[in-house]
Amino acid sequence: MHIHCLINGEPGDTLAISDRGLHYGDGLFETLAVRDGVCEFWDRHMQRLHAGCERLCIAPPEFAQLAAEARQLTHSIERGVLKIIVTRGSGGRGYRVPDTAHPTRILLRSDWPTYPRDNAEQGVRVRLCTQRLGTNPTLAGLKHLNRLEQVLARLEWDDPTIAEGLLQDHTGHVIEGTFTNVFLVQHGKIVTPALDRCGVAGIMRAVVMELATAAGIDCTERAVTLDELVAAEELFLTNSLIGIWPIQELEHWQGRATPGYGYGPGPVTRSLQTALQCLK
Ligand SMILES: Cc1ncc(COP(=O)(O)O)c(C=O)c1O
């Protein structure tokens, strides 16, 4: 049998209906790129998962066990995706956490997504979503299971030529994409939105910030306005699977003038793509 899913270490793909991940989104997840049997940036993903568990007061999984299970699913895979979900476990009437709750760990392997090659080489078209991200400092940065804002945002378009939608918070600051983080290049320096009020602190975002710093490119996290986005010299998106995608075009949005420019993959974006290739 070709196993693609382990739940608490056992092959299978059914979950107790009492699992709090289902009822309350009470848990966390990680999505890892697998290449030649290796889960890329494993330690960083484990650190984020551990930090997330601490913030949500979920007992963190045994990481050696998780690593062994991940290996079991991925060791023979040339290219693929491993999703790890940790929920608080089953039970409890209402929100109260039962004393007996044992976290559920789910490891799910899937095929590598078929993104067009041009996305990384030529860049992508991006829209601005009308859906906003709520402010929630307690959950900001976490890759928790509540993703309704992203689901609603992704319902806003079905034009396959648009690869991603950007989201603002309720004050109008740009935060991230539906499944990516966003970076701007201004005067040759890199800026990425601060994620202390909402957004997911991406693994690739951290990797890119470190690569930039190592290359002597100044890198700042701070609030970013739409006007800055439109005026940026270069824009790019990151996540663990796509690596770095340059933003080539911002689609017309909400009465604002269509920028009508092609950013193209600028020199800073290109140099970071090259640095990332060397790291892998
Ligand atoms: C909402 C959101 N932001 C950012 C990211 C990027 O995170 P990472 O770099 O860890 O893949 C993701 C990834 O799925 C995401 O869903």
Task: Please write the tens of the pLDDT for every residue from 122-135.
Answer: 999 999 999 999 99
pLDDT attached to residue 101 = 83
139: buried, middle or exposed (CB in 10 Å: 19+, 13-18, 0-12)? middle
Ligand 1 centroid to Cα of residue 1, in Å, is 32
pLDDT attached to residue 257 = 47
What residue spans of the chain are helical by DSSP H? 20-24, 42-56, 63-74, 118-121, 148-154, 203-214, 226-231, 267-279
Atom of ligand 1 nearest to the CA of 206: 9
pLDDT attached to residue 253 = 60
E strand or H helix at 34: strand 27-35
Which is catalytic among the residues 30, 164, 176, 234?
A: 176
d(CA 233, CA 249): 12
Integer CA distances (angstroms), 121 to 78, 84, 118, in order: 22, 29, 5
Whose alpha carbon is nearest atom 1 of ligand 1? 179
Atom of ligand 1 nearest to the CA of 241: 11
241: buried, middle or exposed (CB in 10 Å: 19+, 13-18, 0-12)? middle
Name the pTM for this structure.
Answer: 0.95
**Fold of the domain built from segment(s) 5-111:** D-amino Acid Aminotransferase; Chain A, domain 1 (3.30.470)
Whose alpha carbon is nearest atom 14 of ligand 1? 179
Contact 6, 106 (CB under 8 A): yes
Query: Alpha-carbon dihedral of residues 278, 120, 175, 61, nearest 10 degrees?
Result: -50
pLDDT attached to residue 64 = 97
Task: Collapse the DSSP code of 190 into the 3-class scheme (helix H, G, I; strand E, B; otherwise coil) and give the result.
Answer: strand
Ligand 1 centroid to Cα of residue 245, in Å, is 13
pLDDT attached to residue 28 = 98
Task: Collapse the DSSP code of 267 into the 3-class scheme (helix H, G, I; strand E, B; otherwise coil) and give the result.
Answer: helix
Q: Which residues line ligand 1 (CB under 6 A)?
A: 31, 150, 176, 179-181, 200, 202-205, 238-240
Partners of 133 in the β-ladder: 169
d(CA 24, CA 192): 30
Active site residue 176: yes
Backbone angles phi, psi at 43, to 5 degrees: -60, -40
pLDDT attached to residue 260 = 45
The CATH code of the domain at 118-279 is 3.20.10.10
Whose alpha carbon is nearest atom 4 of ligand 1? 180
Which is catalytic among the residues 30, 31, 74, 104?
A: 31
Start-to-end CA span in the chain (Å) = 31
Whose alpha carbon is nearest atom 16 of ligand 1? 179
Backbone angles phi, psi at 68, to 5 degrees: -65, -40
Task: Collapse the DSSP code of 207 into the 3-class scheme (helix H, G, I; strand E, B; otherwise coil) and give the result.
Answer: helix
For the chain, the domains span 5-111, 118-279
Task: Give the chain's residues under pLDDT 50.
Answer: 1, 255-261
pLDDT attached to residue 280 = 79
